[in-house]
Each structure stands twice: as C-alpha cells, then as structure tokens.
Structure 1
C-alpha cells in the first residue's frame, strides 16, 4: 500500500512539473505536447530528452513545430504501433476463445445426437411402461442438456461478437490516429508518404496525371513570437480548415511538418493543381484572424505554394524536391503567391 501511495505521489509531482515546464517555455497545451514533456522529464525516452534539451539550451522556441517533430520521431510510431499490437492480440485471443466455444458446442451436439441415436435403437416396447417412462425421462434430460448448452453458447457468441466489434473499432481508431495530425485533424506525414507512394504506382502503371502542392504559412515564426504559440496553433487550424473547405475530389491534404502543408492531387495536371492552390490562397486572404482570448484583430494569413507534376522517371523524392524548389521560389519572389515547377526548370 505504501509503495502504491508513493508511486501516485511521484506521478502527481511529475505531472505538476510537466505543466510548469510547459508554461515556462510557452509550449502548446494539447495532449501530444504533454506526452512529449512527460517523456522528457520522466527520462523515459533519452534521445527525445537530448534533442529537447539542445533546443532549450539554445534558447529556441518549444512550439508546435518542435513538439510535433519530437513526437513523430520518438513517440508517435512506437506509441501507435504498441496500441495496434495490443488491440490485434486481443482480437486474436477473442477469436481463439470463440473458436473454442464453437468446437465445444459441436462436440456437445455430436454427443447429443449419439445419445438420441442410441436411445432410438434401444427404445423399449410400448407394453413395457416402466422402461418406456425411463426411456422418455432419459430423452428429455438429454434434450434439456442440449438446449441449455445451445442457450449458453448463444450468449457466449453474442458476447464474443460484441467484444470483437469493439476491438475492431478500437483498432480502426488506432489506425486513424496513427495517420492523423493531432493539432489540425489533417492526415500526417506518415499518411502522406504512404499515399504518395500509392499514387506514384498508379501514375507509373496507368499514365494518370499526379500533382503535388507544398504550401507554407508566410512569416509563421515571427507570428508565433509576436502573438504566442496558442495563436500560432489557431493559424495552422485556420489554414487546414480553409484547405479542407476547398478540397477537390480525391485530394489528400496533409500537415507536412511545422507550418508546411502538402496536398496530393491524383488525376490532376499541373495547371489545375496551380488553380487549386491559388483558390486556397485567395480564400485565406478573405479571412481575418482574431485572437480568441482578447478579440484582437491580427490581420490576414498568407501562404506561399510550390506546385509540381509527375513526369516519367520521377520518384516520390524527386517530385517533393521540385515542389519544394517551387515553394522556395515563391518565397524568394515576395511570398503570398503560387509558383509552379515551370518557373524553376531551365
């Protein structure tokens, strides 16, 4: 009992230290940030602690970009993999139990039919009333046992089926969580990489167009420094929401990392990809950001975008590099604009 109390006290103390550290370093206050700081202060993930300590010593900001990077590198994959593994194991155990129950029911049913067959062959003459009564009583008892067994099995099967459904839903939730960015609700970098690879295979085999847009929020670091990380998070959610509102068929919008977003556009050529990126940029210009805590008007958010289209011989890496080069060209030429690969190909 004493050890359990001591453990609870230690955990409460650690939680208090985590909250204090998050406040001290103006860290965002969503669950992923708490997990990262908890892992650091508890010493559970040494590599994460080393990198975070380097940021702190260097006087760097511990905002959403740093938090998400640390989480994805040191915690995300392992965390969700463990959850998925546990849930999968539970499903397999439940299926094994279900199979055992069915086999037991089949064995009981075979015994019942064997008993009935034996009773039929040994049935007494109708004139032998005492033996006839005993025969009927044995038959009734065997039937009642079979009915009870079937009723029990039905209840067990219903319970098992419900448990398997719950576990399957939990596994699906874990799968979605593993592919979703916690802050924006968009697909994350892992989902982006998987989807881009799939789209590449289709583009290569079937010759279907494929376009990639990489967008970056202009002056995001300055915005974070001036208004705080909570408002910076609000900016990222606003951009994500605007992109989602203007999403075209089959588009996959992802948070690429930090203040960068990547949009995969299957069956879309370069010009249409630019039109889509421009539609999002123009939509953002019509929205004024208001700080929720003070109702202060903070101005409008702008983004720069680079657009690249698949060409024969491309790899996912080469396509990303071209889109990124186009994005850099957009930033060098004044930001708040969309540039395609044509502007950088000589």
Structure 2
C-alpha cells in the first residue's frame, strides 16, 4: 500500500513538473486556472479540451489568459453546475415526496370519512332510529367532518408552501441551465449552445427548405492587442464586440462566443444577402467605436474584425456550413483583414486561401 502511495506521489510530481514546463513554454502566467487547465491536459482527463488546446497552440503558438479562462469555463467548470443541479434536483425530489405523503394522508382521511358515512347509512337503514340515536349520528358526522376539514386545511397550507418552494427551485434550475449555456465574460451563448442552435437551424432548413445563414467573425490582431494593453483591456474588447453584435443582429439570431476571440451568429430565415448586411453592420460598428482604457482614460484607438458569411445550401451539415464560414473568415484575413467575405466567391477561391 505504501509503495502504491509512493508511486502515485511520484506520478503526481512528474505531472506537476510537466505542467510547469508547458506553462513556461506556452502560457503567459502560472495562474491557478492555468495550472488546472494544464494539469488536466497532461493527465489526459478531458480529451475534448486537449484537442482544443492543440488547435490553439497550432494557430497561435501560445495560450493567452483569455484562452485558459475559456478552456476552464467550457471544459472544467461544468462540475460545479452539475453539482448545483444535483442539489436542486435532490431538494425538489424531497419536496415531491413530502407532497405525496400529504396526499396519502388526505386520501386515507377521505376513505375513513366515507367508511364512517357508509356505516352510519347502514345503521339508519337496518336499525330503529330514536331521537337519541339521531343525535349521536349527527354528532359523529360533525366530528368526522371537522377532522376532514382540519386535514384539508393542513394539506392546503403544505401545498402552498411546496408550490412556492418548487417555483423557487424551478427558477434556480433554469438559472443553472442558462449559466451552463452562457459565456461568462460576454454573456453570449457558449460553444455548446452555439453548436446546439446551429444543428437545430440546419435541421429546420433541411426539412422545410427555408433559408438560414451563419456568420463567423474574429478580432484582428487580438493577441498583439492583449499583450500590449493587458488581459483586462482585452476582456473589454471582447465585451465591446458582444455589445455590437447584440445591437446589430436582431432578436432571432443566436449570438455566441465559441473561442478566445472568435464569435458566431446563427441566422435562421435569412439568406446570404441579408446575412452579409448584418455582418457588415457588425464590422463597421466595431470599427466605429473608440476604445478607452478604463483605469487611465488612455485612448487605445480602434479594433477591427474579419468576417465570414456562409448561406445554407441543400446537403449542408452543421460541420460543412461552419467550415465554409470559417474559410470565408480566413479569406478575409488573407485579403487584408477588416472586411467581410461570403461564400458566393466559390469553393475554389476559398480553398485557395485556406
């Protein structure tokens, strides 16, 4: 047993040493969140997160604090939400059990009352009725009725309490569900919700033949901006883009932040021309905002975004539509950034810039 513990101890120290090496090579700092992300990476506990890290390193050669925060929220913080949901579900089950117990008592009370009335009815039918006997019967009925009324009042009060408790739990579960689908920094949908809505919209377009489009946008030179002005100012830029998306996209769009500085807009019912109009509105409005560092009032200039637009076509899957929108966005990057390119340019042109 001591040997096993010693082996586990040595293994954990070996993991920790590798984590430190990776944070030094690919990370901006050794924050607790960064350590947690890299430790999980080295331990191989979350394969999807490992794939995401490998993609980011391939693209950027490093991870920013924003990247590690996003990875933590998307892949490692779900346990807390699951725990909250589990606690709430257990409380609700307890409330339901209490209500069922009260209903059982009420049913038993009603059955006893019916049995008493049946007994009295038989007594009246088969036996001689005297004034004294009538008085006894009436007294018995009144007493039984009072018992049932008392039981019903207790049940009614308990039901009111349980209804209020269950309503509170329902709100808590809904808040937990929404939190699990929301990017905590921008308040937009996270990648999980983005993928769910993209799949639903593609399925609807496939079944009904209606239009739908997808916008993918990426902040230009975000890493350089983040390194120059700091993590908190970088967060300010991400929030700015989210605000502009809300102002420009309309009520039926699903707005998402699904990567470090990558955003998506799912547009059910809109064709390529309409989607491009929204994409251009977002791009121009982002460029039109002057950034000011909150702590000092220093002007930081402006940022821009590169935007790709893809319209649904027969046979598309969520993956193929997203890939085409991504290719359009990368084409915008290659063409000089701060522009919108849609998939009307043709597959050959997009593949050429990929």
Q: Normalising TM by the smaller chain, what interval? A: 0.7 to 0.9
Alpha-carbon distance in 1 for matches of 2:71, 2:325: 21
User: 1:255 matched to which residue of 2?
Assistant: 257
Asked whether the 8 Å contact 1:26–1:63 carries over to 2, the reply is no
Q: Which deviates more, 161-170 or 233-242?
A: 161-170
Alpha-carbon distance in 2 for matches of 1:271, 1:42: 46
Alpha-carbon distance in 2 for matches of 1:287, 1:301: 8
User: 2:175 matched to which residue of 1?
Assistant: 173
Cα distance, 1:198 vs. partner?
0.7
Asked whether the 8 Å contact 2:37–2:72 carries over to 1, the reply is no
Alpha-carbon distance in 2 for matches of 1:40, 1:265: 33
Alpha-carbon distance in 2 for matches of 1:138, 1:160: 33
Alpha-carbon distance in 2 for matches of 1:125, 1:38: 90
**Structure 2 matches for 1:281-320, cutoff 5 A?**
281-320=283-322
Give secondary structure in 2 for the equivalent of 1:246: helix
Asked whether the 8 Å contact 1:242–1:284 carries over to 2, the reply is yes
User: 1:91 matched to which residue of 2?
Assistant: 92
Give secondary structure in 2 for the equivalent of 1:314: coil
User: 2:280 matched to which residue of 1?
Assistant: 278
1:161 aligns with 2:190: no
1:25 aligns with 2:18: no
Cα distance, 1:155 vs. partner?
1.0
Alpha-carbon distance in 1 for matches of 2:228, 2:38: 28
Cα distance, 1:174 vs. partner?
1.3
User: 1:101 matched to which residue of 2?
Assistant: 102
User: Could you list the runs of 5+ residues in structure 2 that have no partner in the other structure?
Assistant: 1-22, 349-354
Give secondary structure in 1 for the equivalent of 2:291: strand
User: 1:122 matched to which residue of 2?
Assistant: 123
- Normalised by the length of structure 2, the TM-score is 0.79
1:151 aligns with 2:153: yes
Alpha-carbon distance in 2 for matches of 1:65, 1:329: 23
Asked whether the 8 Å contact 2:214–2:325 carries over to 1, the reply is yes
Give secondary structure in 1 for the equivalent of 2:77: helix
**Structure 2 matches for 1:136-285, cutoff 5 A?**
136-285=138-287
User: 1:63 matched to which residue of 2?
Assistant: 65
Give secondary structure in 2 for the equivalent of 1:69: helix
Provide Cα deviations, 1:15-59, integer angstroms capped at 9, x if missing partner.
xxxxxx9xx9386xxxxxx7x46956999x9557997x999xxx9
Alpha-carbon distance in 1 for matches of 2:130, 2:322: 93
- Normalised by the length of structure 1, the TM-score is 0.81
Query: CA distance change for structure 1 residues 249 and 231 in 2, over 3 Å: closer, same or farther?
Result: same
RMSD: 3.3
Asked whether the 8 Å contact 2:37–2:68 carries over to 1, the reply is no
Cα distance, 1:117 vs. partner?
3.1
Alpha-carbon distance in 2 for matches of 1:271, 1:189: 25
**Structure 2 matches for 1:16-55, cutoff 5 A?**
25=29, 36=33, 47=44
1:331 aligns with 2:329: no
User: 1:345 matched to which residue of 2?
Assistant: 347
Query: CA distance change for structure 1 residues 41 and 269 in 2, over 3 Å: closer, same or farther?
Result: closer
Cα distance, 1:89 vs. partner?
4.0
Cα distance, 1:219 vs. partner?
0.7
Give the paired residue count. 314
User: Could you list the runs of 5+ residues in structure 1 that have no partner in the other structure?
Assistant: 1-20, 28-33
Provide Cα deviations, 1:133-191, integer angstroms capped at 9, x if missing partner.
44343333212211111111111111111121111111111111111110000011000
Alpha-carbon distance in 1 for matches of 2:295, 2:63: 21
